[in-house]
Amino acid sequence: MESVGVVGAGSWGTTLAKVLGENGRQTFLWARDAELCRQINESHENPRYLPGARLAQTVEATAELRHLCERCELILLVVPSHGLRQVARAMGDHLHGGQMVVHCTKGIERETGSRMSEIIREETCLRKIGALGGPNLASEIALCNPAGTVVASKYDEVVRAAQAVLHNRYFRVYGGDDVVGVEVGGAFKNIVALAAGIADGLRLGDNTKALLLTRGLSEMARFGAMMGAEVVTFGGMAGIGDLMATCASPLSRNHQVGERLARGETLADIERSMFMVAEGVKTTRAVHAIARHRGLELPIVRAAHAILYEGISVREALDTLMARHVGREFEAFSAVPVRRGG
């Protein structure tokens, strides 16, 4: 596999292209903006989304999806969840069924509640689909700091291909088959990160954050099991691993949104001032809608939704959470069927 495509030249897509280039792979990096492509090709860095990170000579930016799709047997799809359907549809005209795609998008489509792999199946002929997730803060990996991730697919060929091109001395790539679990973990942790950012913004301390993370992980696992994931997945890279990194780091955009909400800023003002997407804002609405439809009680998701979309104050939402009835720690799992992910 000489050439690998990366669709999406944000900070994460550019970081993955950097890893691929350093691993000696001919890499095509797609961006909508032809001017950004020109800048990347001339300077060998992405001045807009990952300034200072040097890209190998083997990384070529392109604004032509067809150019990328026709040259790459493996494609990493790294675009925000709200734009993935449109991009996948545009790619569909230039793909054949034997190609592989691994999406690296941590979100759920707000309008339909669809996971990213479901959208890819709907919009393209591709069936060899995988999902990548884990504690992957782009700027740290761009510095070659040790990190790990997991790629899940029903097709071993996809997992092996992703490991072959991405694994190296500082980036460990584990394999799995629970696509649903990796997708749910990657999306759900952004909601918990919003709550953790609020806790930090209010200076509530480590006990409060530990409570949020622990109960957030419980909600993640219950929601995931309902969606068809394997509960054990949430004890790994895509679950507790991603949750720890996103909820603890000021580099997380979702954590930043939570902190600013705690300081009294409005969501509208925060979103207008942010250069890149905080997926947790849209994912909260999608997960809340699915949980209500399925009759699943998720208190932290409910509180985040109330703050973001219902005009409830941060303090009022926190007081409501703390006033809830306390039962046995794992009693909520007794009503959730545990199924094998796919």
**Neighbour count for residue 325 (Cβ, 10 Å):** 4
Would you say how long the chain is, in residues?
342
Q: Using CA atoms, how far apart are residues 181 and 132, in angstroms rounded to an integer?
A: 11
Q: Using CA atoms, how far apart are residues 340 and 211, in angstroms rounded to an integer?
A: 28
Phi/psi of residue 276, nearest 5 degrees = -120, 165
- 14: region left, alpha or beta (phi > 0 left; psi from -120 to 50 alpha): alpha
* SS3 of 32-78: CCHHHHHHHHHHCCECCCECCCCCCCCEEEECCHHHHHCCCCEEEEC
Structure tokens at 267: 């969501």
Sheet holding 59-62, edge to edge: 59-62, 26-30, 3-7, 74-77, 100-103, 128-133, 147-153, 171-176
Please enumerate in sequence order all residues whose Cβ is within 8 A of that of 29, keeping only pairs 6 or more positions apart, or say none. 5, 6, 9, 13, 14, 17, 40, 59, 60, 61, 62
209 is catalytic: no
DSSP 8-state symbol, 261: H
Contact 108, 84 (CB under 8 A): no
Structure tokens at 207: 């006990």
Q: Pick the catalytic residue: 18, 189, 209, 282?
A: 189
Element (H, E) at 112: none
| Catalytic residue list | 189
